[in-house]
Amino acid sequence: MSENYIVSARKYRPASFATVVGQQSLTHTLKTAIGSNKLAHAYLFCGPRGVGKTTCARIFAKAINCEHLTADGEPCNECESCKAFNEQRSYNIIELDAASNNSVDDIRTIVDQVRIPPQVGKYRVFIIDEVHMLTTAAFNAFLKTLEEPPEYAIFILATTEKQKIIPTILSRCQIYDFARIKVPDIVEQLKYICTDRGVTAETAALNVIAQKADGAMRDALSIFDQVAASCEGNITYQGAIENLNVLDHDYYFRLDEAFLKSDIPEALLIYKDIREHGFDSQFFINGLAQHFRDLMVASNPQTVVLLEMNDELAQKFVLQAQKFAPAYFYRVMDLCNYCDLNYRNASNKQFLVELTLIKICQLLTGPMPPAGGDQPPVKKMQASPAQAPQQTTQTPRTAAPQAAASAQHTASAPAQHYMPQGHPLPAPPMPSAKPVPTAKTKMPPRIYINNTQRAAEEAAKQEATKKVASAPTFHDNKPIDPEQFAQAWNAYTQAHPHDIIVVNAMHRAVPTLVSGTHYKMKSANEGEAGMINNSLTDILTYLRNTLQNGTITLEIELDKTIKTPKIMTEREIVNDILSRRPEFGDFIKDFQLTL
């Protein structure tokens, strides 16, 4: 390194408000306050690291003591006060690093220096950096001086963590929030530095440096020096990403193509290539989530401004985003977020990432798998009562498809809430020819990871089909005696005590015979009728098996004239007893009984 070499963070540190990068509104406010001579006695500069808090504090301290301010509020750099500041021999500006000088004694030293008026200039400025590192006792020792300082004393506090400062300090300061420096602003400053240093650089490489800096100009300058040294004065995009260990956008665009084609092997091979280049798997999965976040904002013209990258790369994202639907972005980001949250606890981290890539590949070809461990709700399917096929005299080979179609239709039909009056249930199935199994065409197997919703629906359909297929058929239907029917009816209620609503309704309303084996049951309300109808298949199956008669049918009729017993609270029961037996009140008083 040359003897006269100065790192960029020091050489290009702003010396005036005009050269401060990315804080135009804040510097304008400070210059206005200086020009109008409306200065507060305490300021608090807060914001992320490397955005210019201490730099602005020094420029502000230099400007308020300048004897010949310029027309735009900048220090002249020619008066004695400015020269003393530039040569670092000014006694009017005192800096304290609170990170290493955070005790009560350090603050008392500052308080003692406050009593000394300035020899040159109008103000003595005390800059306390990282003020949140002060102890509580130091804050309390500093509080009185900060509240009532001499008229020539101005305090400028700088911190990255405003929430750690006690409220009594905050209430005595004017607070200025420094923003993160935008990527385009950092890139423009780096271009100026490249020109000044005689370094050639690709715009894409400078964008990588700006994004790596995460809004901090100081970090960007340090990274720039590192990359410039390794690239020997010619900063290229490839050289920048290799030096900074940044994953190239091309990897993610290649993954996009694999996802569009549902090419699982290609996606896994790309991930293998990334690991072989030394990139951490969690770093990769976070980068993939950020990539799809950028695609999401690029898909909408209103949110394109949220892309922090150069115009050429932003246009590439806009074109790529048109290949996907918006819902796809949300699902992929959800999968990546789930992988990131579970990465630390996973015993096989590589498998977790590969499983996530497989799920993403399947999003465009099949039902979307759940993002994490949450299983989708199983859709309940209820079978309707068995239906009797039409009598036929054709051969069994002809009757087989009709029987199969009837079973399939019955299994997929939803259960009715209640049957309107005058529409009895269909008759049960009669003996028919045994269906001949038909040949089925085998479909090519497809594998879906975590596709539990489809499996649940298929299982429900098969269960419903089994119920219909197991409906009893009797070649000799036995006659039904009313007493036997009543016994079977009561036996069902005893066998299903858990179904309270249905059992109570069955106790209250025993069906009456309408004709043959067709019975009618009256229900008091639609809700009760719906609950009974949901259990109708089980009731009919039980009755047909018990009474050895497959022709039994049951109709549910609404009869709102039926009065259901009123459910009373404990207080209402006591009041009812007192209304009929007033002497019961004396019994309660004598024994001091309460509910």
Least confident of 216-225, 296-305, 353-362, 373-382: 373-382
pLDDT score for 582: 85
Q: Confidence class of residue 519 from pLDDT cuts 50, 70 and 90?
A: confident
Highest mean pLDDT among 18-22, 302-306, 337-341, 418-422: 337-341
Q: What is the largest CA-CA distance in the chain?
A: 122
CA dist 283 and 247 (Å) reads 9
Least confident of 45-59, 377-391, 538-552, 567-581: 377-391
Q: What is the pLDDT of residues 87-117, one digit of tens each?
A: 888 888 888 888 888 888 888 888 888 888 8
Q: Read off the tokens for 381.
A: 């399917």
Task: Give the 3-state DSSP-derived string for 161-183, with helices as H, strands as E and coil as C.
Answer: CHHHCCHHHHCCCEEEECCCCCH
Least confident of 31-40, 421-430, 486-495: 421-430
Q: What is the pLDDT of residues 536-552, one digit of tens each?
A: 888 888 888 888 888 88
CA dist 194 and 8 (Å) reads 10
Q: Confidence class of residue 332 from pLDDT cuts 50, 70 and 90?
A: very high
Q: What percent of the chain has pLDDT over 90?
A: 17
Phi, psi of 265 (to 5 degrees): -60, -40
pLDDT score for 293: 94
Q: What is the pLDDT of residues 38-64, one digit of tens each?
A: 888 999 999 998 888 899 999 998 888
Q: Confidence class of residue 595 from pLDDT cuts 50, 70 and 90?
A: low
Q: What is the chain's length? A: 595
Q: How far from 346 is each of 108, 123, 352, 360, 457, CA to CA, in Å?
A: 52, 60, 7, 19, 31
pLDDT score for 73: 82
pLDDT over threshold 60, residue 367: no
- Smallest CA-to-CA distance from 466 within 399, 396, 541 is with 541
Residue type, 16: S
**Per-residue pLDDT averaged across 390-411, rounded?**
40
Q: Confidence class of residue 439 from pLDDT cuts 50, 70 and 90?
A: very low
Q: What is the pLDDT of residues 239-263, one digit of tens each?
A: 888 888 888 888 999 999 999 999 9
Burial track 496-519 (b if 16+ CB lie within 10 A, e otherwise): beebeebbebbeebebeeeeebbb
pLDDT over threshold 90, residue 352: yes
pLDDT over threshold 70, residue 476: no
pLDDT over threshold 90, residue 348: yes
pLDDT score for 400: 40
Contacts 24+ apart (CB under 8 A), 366-374: 366/446, 366/448, 366/451, 367/448, 367/451, 367/453, 367/454, 368/331, 369/448, 369/449, 369/450, 369/451, 370/450, 370/452, 371/331, 371/334, 371/335, 371/337, 371/338, 372/338, 372/342
Q: What percent of the chain has pLDDT over 70?
A: 79
**Per-residue pLDDT averaged across 68-92, rounded?**
84
3-state helix, strand, coil in the chain (%, to 5): 50, 10, 40
CA dist 359 and 490 (Å) reads 53
Q: Confidence class of residue 392 from pLDDT cuts 50, 70 and 90?
A: very low
CA dist 450 and 226 (Å) reads 46
pLDDT score for 156: 92
CA dist 250 and 204 (Å) reads 13
Residue type, 270: I
Q: What is the pLDDT of residues 453-474, one digit of tens each?
A: 555 555 555 554 454 444 455 5
pLDDT score for 135: 87
Least confident of 174-188, 385-399, 531-545, 555-569: 385-399
CA dist 523 and 540 (Å) reads 17
- Smallest CA-to-CA distance from 359 within 254, 264, 294 is with 264
pLDDT over threshold 70, residue 431: no
Exposed/middle/buried for 263, CB within 10 Å: 0-12, 13-18, 19+?
middle
**Per-residue pLDDT averaged across 524-534, rounded?**
79
pLDDT over threshold 50, residue 444: no
Q: For the chain, how far is it from start to end, CA to CA, in angstroms? A: 91
Q: Read off the tokens for 425.
A: 């249930």
CA dist 64 and 59 (Å) reads 9
CA dist 75 and 64 (Å) reads 8
Which distant-in-sequence residues (6+ apart) come within 8 Å of 6 by Cβ?
A: none
Q: Read off the tokens for 504.
A: 């109570």
Rama region for 376: left / alpha / beta (φ>0; ψ in -120 to 50; rest): beta
Which distant-in-sequence residues (6+ apart) come within 8 Å of 150 by Cβ?
A: 114, 115, 117
pLDDT over threshold 90, residue 402: no
**Per-residue pLDDT averaged across 560-587, rounded?**
77
**Per-residue pLDDT averaged across 481-496, rounded?**
86
